[in-house]
Amino acid sequence: MSISGAGFLLFLTAAALLYYLVPKAYRRFVLLAAGIIFYLSFSPAAGLCLLFTACFTFGSALLLGRLHRLEKSALDGGDADRKAVKARFRTRRKRLLAALLTVNFATLAVFKYLDPWLAELNDLFGLSFRPLNLLLPLGISFYIFQTSGYLIDCFRGRVEPERNFFKYALFVSYFPQMIQGPINRYQSLAPQLYEGSDFDADKIRLGIELLLWGMLKKVFLADPLADAVKEIYANYTAYSGFSVFLGAALYCIQLYADFSGGVDVVRGASQIFGIEMAENFKRPYFSRTLDEFWRRWHISLGEWMKDYLFYPMALSGAMGKLGKAARKRFGADFGKVAVPALCTLIVFLAVGVWQGPGLANIAYGLYNGLLMSFALLVDRRVRAFKTRLKIKDSSRAYRLFGVARTCFLVVIGRYFSRSASLYDALRMLWRTVRYFGEGLGEGNPFTAFGLDGGAWARVLFACAVLFAVSLLQEKGIRIRETLAKKPWYVQFVPLFIAVALLVVFVYLNTDYTAIAYVYESI
Amino acid sequence: MQKLYDILNENWPDIDFEKEEKLIDDGVLTSLDIVMLVGELNDAFDIEITADELLPENFNSASAIEALVKRLTAE
């Protein structure tokens, strides 16, 4: 059931009708049933994997909660050495958490990484491991991260473990988040799911608008670029370096429209049920630095990495010692940034692995991590340099320069994240540099890969609309909320246009072929 | 607690710590800043700020950071 398809819209409508028809106390059961039906419509076998994760993490959280209660009893019992009691229980909880997370991530490793890595080993060392040919369960990367976050929050005592399995199963299987996240936090999502929402026509309309906007992004911007991008990445040796670079830039636009469009669809669908999900994008291509880009792109993954990997690692005893040693050996300035720089590198390696099992993905993580670590290490010198040249960060020219530089670095990164292998990514880069202008005089480089004049015009128009909307949002204008204050017939116009466009170009168009979301296969 | 303000002002001279109440919520301090700050605080006050303490309410303002340092010093 594709979330762009009419089937999904019918399913969503039926679920929403039923949700608001049953009494509030039972609404969560409607969502749970909808989640199970939705998931099984993709693959019944993969449902077993989801069920295992739900059962395992449910029981695991209860064990962590039990340790918290035992600690509290020991402390209440007047044990003299409170510090020792706390330290003892913290060690026990840490060991338990380590074991639980190992099992949880092992599920992901087996389904997502084992076969590709076995194939890689076979290639590299001439071995003959037989692949397991396991099916990649839908949304596994998202629900493993979401449940692992829940376990860590239980370990930290920030969340009380859920004792009702059916409630917890809803948190894991809430259907709008199953395709491509966002990675929700238990504290913000679960209470909304369990309590149920009152019927609110305004919220429902806002949800429908967001859903339609996401569909428009996918259908009129991401999908028309998909074939051209695929062609360039598959046959880059046939194109000039300029076209290869253009292909990577087009992929940046395609991926943003695809992923952010998909997340708009699922967040909009969720808002129809009155449930707010985590925001995942804040106009990332307006970022002035790569660091800012990553705070605006796939925000829920970035926040997960920050809270559950970056902070614990950077504040660990080992990193503390390393920081001190660096300060002693290289001076205070370097010592201060050495640990954050190293941890940034490791976090981005993890982001690369999260994207996929190939070496190109790891290189993608390394590329981003190295650039950001380097920026951190030279930050003081750059600031001094700018002061000497009287360059102000707030000046319009410098801001534009920052945005252009960030976009360029992001485009180069996409050579790695989209190409078939690391070898191909490096050859594409080489081609871009070495043969940048090759054959540019012979024919039109913009249409060489199958995107004709009409298609370019449509894509550019869609880009212009997206840019205009993003610019308004950057200026702090909340478009849907502003529209909601207008008379009903004014509110109706954009809704009508969106529905008409989708009906004519998608649902009544027999030539239209739905293209899967890029992050569906993650 | 002058030492705390010295650390803050020396490392982030552009931020007005007397006024800022949403250092984390508004993204004034990034995660990299937080890690650097925690390293400085741990050294200066001989405390151990763990990842569990990294909640926005503990770092949103200079007074919140001061309260955190005082609590951990007392423990």
- Residue A68 shares a structural domain with residue A118: yes
Closest C-alpha among A357, A255, A264, A354 to residue A308:
A354
- pLDDT, one tens digit for every residue, chain B (75 residues): 788 888 898 888 888 888 888 998 888 888 888 988 998 898 888 888 888 888 888 999 999 999 999 998 887
- Residue A48 shares a structural domain with residue A144: yes
pLDDT digits (tens, 9 = 90+) for A402-434: 999 999 999 999 999 999 889 999 999 999 999
Q: How confident is the model at residue A79 (pLDDT cuts 50, 70, 90)?
A: low
CB of A288 less than 8 A from some CB of B: no
- Residue A47 shares a structural domain with residue A115: yes
Judge whether residue A248 has pLDDT over 90: yes
CB of B38 less than 8 A from some CB of A: yes
Q: How confident is the model at residue A337 (pLDDT cuts 50, 70, 90)?
A: confident
Give the end of a domain, one of A199, A233, A255. A199
| Cβ contact, residue pair B35, A343, below 8 Å | yes
- Residue A18 shares a structural domain with residue A131: yes
Q: How confident is the model at residue A80 (pLDDT cuts 50, 70, 90)?
A: low
CB of A152 less than 8 A from some CB of B: no
**Domains in chain B, CATH or no CATH each:** 2-74 (1.10.1200.10)
Chain A residues lying within 8 Å of B38, measured CB to CB: 314-315
Q: What is the ipTM of this complex?
A: 0.84
CB of B25 less than 8 A from some CB of A: no
A436 lies in a domain?
A: no
Say what the pLDDT of residue A488 is. 84
Say what the pLDDT of residue A368 is. 95
A215 lies in a domain?
A: yes
Say what the pLDDT of residue A163 is. 96
Minimal CA separation from A314 to chain B, in Å: 7
- Residue A187 shares a structural domain with residue A205: no
Q: How confident is the model at residue A377 (pLDDT cuts 50, 70, 90)?
A: confident
Q: Residues A219-235: what's their mean pLDDT?
A: 92
CA distance A55 to A466: 42
For residue A134, the SS3 value is: coil
Q: Cis before residue A340, ω within 30 degrees of 0?
A: no
Say what the pLDDT of residue A465 is. 95
Say what the pLDDT of residue A92 is. 93
Which of the pair, A513 or A339, is modelled with greater confidence?
Answer: A339
A44 lies in a domain?
A: yes
Share of chain A above pLDDT 90, in %: 59
pLDDT digits (tens, 9 = 90+) for A379-392: 888 888 888 888 88
Give the end of a domain, one of A139, A174, A199. A199
A297 lies in a domain?
A: yes
CA distance A256 to A246: 15
Q: Which range among A74-88, A200-214, A321-335, B8-22 has the greatest average pLDDT?
A: A200-214
Which of the pair, A355 or A192, is modelled with greater confidence?
Answer: A192
A439 lies in a domain?
A: no
Q: Residues A34-50: what's their mean pLDDT?
A: 89
- Residue A33 shares a structural domain with residue A170: yes
User: Which of A313, A315, A342, A343 is the best substitution to test chain B (most B C-beta atoms within 10 A)?
Assistant: A315
- Residue A189 shares a structural domain with residue A205: no
- Residue A232 shares a structural domain with residue A250: yes
Give the end of a domain, one of A199, A230, A256. A199
Say what the pLDDT of residue A1 is. 64
Say what the pLDDT of residue A375 is. 92
Judge whether residue A284 has pLDDT over 70: yes
User: Which of A311, A328, A379 is the best substitution to test chain B (most B C-beta atoms within 10 A)?
Assistant: A311
Give B51's DSSP letter.
G
| Cβ contact, residue pair B31, A320, below 8 Å | no
A425 lies in a domain?
A: no
Residues A268-295: b if buried by 16+ CB within 10 A, e if exposed: bbbbbbbbbbbebbbbbbbbbbbbbbbb
Mean pLDDT of chain A: 90
- Residue A310 shares a structural domain with residue A458: no
Which residue of A157, A323, A340 is in closest CB contact with B32?
A340
Do A322 and A302 meet the contact criterion of CB atoms below 8 Å apart?
A: no
- Residue A360 shares a structural domain with residue A478: no
- Residue A192 shares a structural domain with residue A205: no
Q: Residues A151-163: what's their mean pLDDT?
A: 94
Quote the domain boundaries for residue A265. 200-277+444-522
- Residue A219 shares a structural domain with residue A319: no
pLDDT digits (tens, 9 = 90+) for A7-23: 888 999 999 999 999 99
Domain count along chain A: 3
A428 lies in a domain?
A: no
Among A146-150, A299-303, A434-438, name the one with the lowest average pLDDT: A434-438
| Cβ contact, residue pair B51, A312, below 8 Å | yes
Please give the residue of chain A at the shortest CA–CA distance from B34. Answer: A311
Say what the pLDDT of residue A521 is. 62
Phi first, then psi: give them for residue B40, nearest 5 degrees: -65, -45
Say what the pLDDT of residue A119 is. 85
Which of the pair, A466 or A488, is modelled with greater confidence?
Answer: A466
A99 lies in a domain?
A: yes
The model carries a pTM of: 0.89
